[in-house]
A and B are shown apart, each in its own frame.
Chain A
Amino acid sequence: MILAILETAKQAISEASWETITAACDLAQKTNDSVTALLIGREVRALAPTLSGVSTVLVAEDPQLDSYIPEAFAKIVSEVIKQKSPQIVLAPGTETGNDLMARVAARLGLGLATNCTEFHLTRSGEGQGEVRVTRSNWGGSLLEEVEILSKPILLTLQPHAIPAHAAAGPEPAIEALSPTLTAKEFRVRVKELLRSEKKGISLTEAKIVIGGGRGLGSAEAFKMLEELASLLGNAAVGATRVATNNNWRPHSDQIGQTGAQIAPDLYIACGISGAIQHMVGCKNSKKILAINKDAEAPIFQRADYGVIGDLHQIVPALIAELKRVKGA
């Protein structure tokens, strides 16, 4: 049995969870096995019948589980693993999924491979055979192949690595679980939720992102990127770690391994050298245009279009030209 741990948000199965189901079904097909899914929450049972392709859905409901409660969820998953003895347990490699599975692995004393992108099974069924996975290193700049020695195999799936597709099949059987939770499992829980005001177009949603790096030279210089963004429309301004560490921009604008991962139609990189830790955050952009005064800068090996020269001359000239074109 392959156990798929699902995440829900606002009464729906999350995108990363659909990807997890797809990956679990693929694995089950290869190993002649079946998929059992686990739903945890206050009221999640209604979601179970939608999970076609899965043979059984385990539903762990409790009125106290109104949000992700790390230790309570970890206890439920650990107990299901002990009772049902799955060969493989797969969860989404999201922040919550990785947090949950790290806690489960610690409780059960098992290894855990996070953010897997590919699975290589030589044999399964008997719980023997070699299990290797490919997982993301350096935020996705490198891929590592690891063998997992402990059983059952605990994995999380890198979001967007495997596109979700609907699996055909009869409606799954539903089995209700009654979790026993104690106060200990509630010592870490959300006490309050603060909503933040949305201003402008967010980095991850913008169709065009204009990134600024050390070449900008000051917080002041970012104003011209803002102006360019407003001329282009549906555009947002991002930055490199050098720019955020110099307090030219807030950290929330940082693109890269330890910042945001963006996937716009166009990324315009200004005064950015193209360090791998930055590029891993924008590599899913459809097109990348780089403006850099150094023809040897690594960004030119990772861009579609290049302009060589001083951005402090090129960007203002581009703004003037766009204004002229728009005015006309």
Chain B
Amino acid sequence: MKVLVCVKRVPDTGGGFKLTPDGMRVDTTNVGFAVSPHEECAVEEAIRIIEKHGGSSTVLTLGPPAAGEQLREAIAKGITGAILVEAEDYESWDPAATAQAIAETVKPLGFDLLLFGNESADTCNYQVGVRVAHLLELPCVTGIKALEIQNGKAIAKRETKDGWEVYEVTLPAVFTVKEGINTPRHPSLRGIMSAKKVPIEQKRVTKPAPQLVRKALKKPQEGRQLEILGQGPEAVPKIVEKLRELGAI
């Protein structure tokens, strides 16, 4: 079994966003970087599948050299190989261009299973995995929350309002994963140490012409006025009064 998982380096913003003065991007001064929770789960799923069925797992990212950090985090958890597709001017790539570069890179490598996040954390375009599948002429199921491999087939489940849709497709195939499919492990100290030694394969690609061009980034309106009801358990009568006012009791 050869499994590929694709991740994207994004700023790890918690408390709030600061935008750059030109309003074009998130200011990443003094912020760490991460991958989306969906992609963390895709990494975990790849590791589990290889633990169970044997084979190799590869993590791939398209981005700046610094994205090697996200590849090593995946290796530290148990992924066995890594590819960095170095993209100049990576902020102006669009989903079609990203998919084309990924498809070109992985086509000769013959993966049986290709995992993506359902959508990336930042630009949320919901399409890179589907586009890669199309370019490689592979079947694709999006937004899955369960996956099982049996005799060259993949059984994937998608959650709906009333239950689960069960899909069965023949490998090789592409899946886009949603958080909840598993609980990702933390890397072990030994994993972190040995990840430093695993070589990262570097690839270069030329940028296909983009069809989507970002013009501005802005924050939506937030309009709440805070009223402090009190401190500690002494605030309880005030809370009850408020709950009553709101019709909650």
Contact with A along B197-233 (1 / 0, CB 8 A): 0000000000000111111111110101111111111
Task: List chain A residues, Cβ under 8 A from B242.
Answer: 289, 305
- B4: min CB distance to chain A, Å: 18
Give the complex CA separation of A318 and B249 in angstroms. 12
Chain A residues in the interface with B (C-beta under 8 A): 70, 95, 98-99, 101-103, 105-107, 109-115, 132, 136-150, 187-196, 208, 232, 241, 244-245, 247, 251-252, 254, 257-259, 265-266, 273-277, 283, 287-289, 298, 300-310, 313-314, 317-318, 321-322, 325-326
Known: A105-B131, A138-B122. 10 other contacts (CB 8 A): A106-B131, A110-B211, A138-B17, A145-B218, A146-B215, A187-B139, A265-B246, A302-B224, A305-B242, A309-B231
Q: State whether A144 and B217 are in contact (beta carbons under 8 Å apart), knowing that A111-B211, A187-B169 are contacts in the complex.
A: yes
A-B contact count (CB 8 A): 232
Q: Are B217 and A142 in contact (CB under 8 A)?
A: yes
The 7 A-B pairs with the shortest beta carbon distances in the complex, nearest first, are: A111-B211, A251-B180, A106-B134, A102-B127, A309-B232, A102-B130, A317-B233
Chain B residues in the interface with A (C-beta under 8 A): 13-17, 26, 36-38, 94-96, 99, 121-127, 130-131, 133-135, 139-143, 157, 162-170, 178-180, 183-184, 210-220, 222, 224-233, 235-237, 239-240, 242-243, 246-249
Q: Are A314 and B218 in contact (CB under 8 A)?
A: no
Q: Are A325 and B240 in contact (CB under 8 A)?
A: yes
Q: Are A195 and B162 in contact (CB under 8 A)?
A: yes
Task: List chain B residues, Cβ under 8 A from A188.
Answer: 139-141, 167, 169
21 A-B pairs with CB atoms under 8 Å apart are: A101-B127, A114-B127, A136-B124, A137-B123, A142-B218, A143-B218, A144-B214, A146-B212, A146-B214, A146-B215, A147-B213, A188-B167, A251-B183, A265-B247, A287-B246, A289-B229, A304-B225, A307-B230, A309-B231, A310-B232, A318-B240
Q: Are B220 and A140 in contact (CB under 8 A)?
A: yes
Chain B residue with Cβ nearest A241: B37
The answer, among A247, A308, A317, for a CB contact under 8 Å with B236, is A317
Give the complex CA separation of A281 and B215 in angstroms. 26
Chain A residue with Cβ nearest B168: A191
Task: List chain B residues, Cβ under 8 A from A251.
Answer: 179-180, 183
The answer, among B95, B140, B210, for a CB contact under 8 Å with A112, is B95
- B140: min CB distance to chain A, Å: 7
Give the complex CA separation of A289 and B36 in angstroms. 28
Task: List chain A residues, Cβ under 8 A from B217.
Answer: 137, 142-145
Q: State whether A304 and B126 are in contact (beta carbons under 8 Å apart), knowing that A190-B167, A191-B167 are contacts in the complex.
A: no
Give the complex CA separation of A146 and B133 in angstroms. 25
Give the complex CA separation of A90 and B247 in angstroms. 40
- B233: min CB distance to chain A, Å: 4
Q: Are A232 and B249 in contact (CB under 8 A)?
A: yes
Q: Are B233 and A313 in contact (CB under 8 A)?
A: yes
Chain B residue with Cβ nearest A112: B127
Most buried by A among B143, B214, B243: B243
Q: Are A137 and B124 in contact (CB under 8 A)?
A: yes
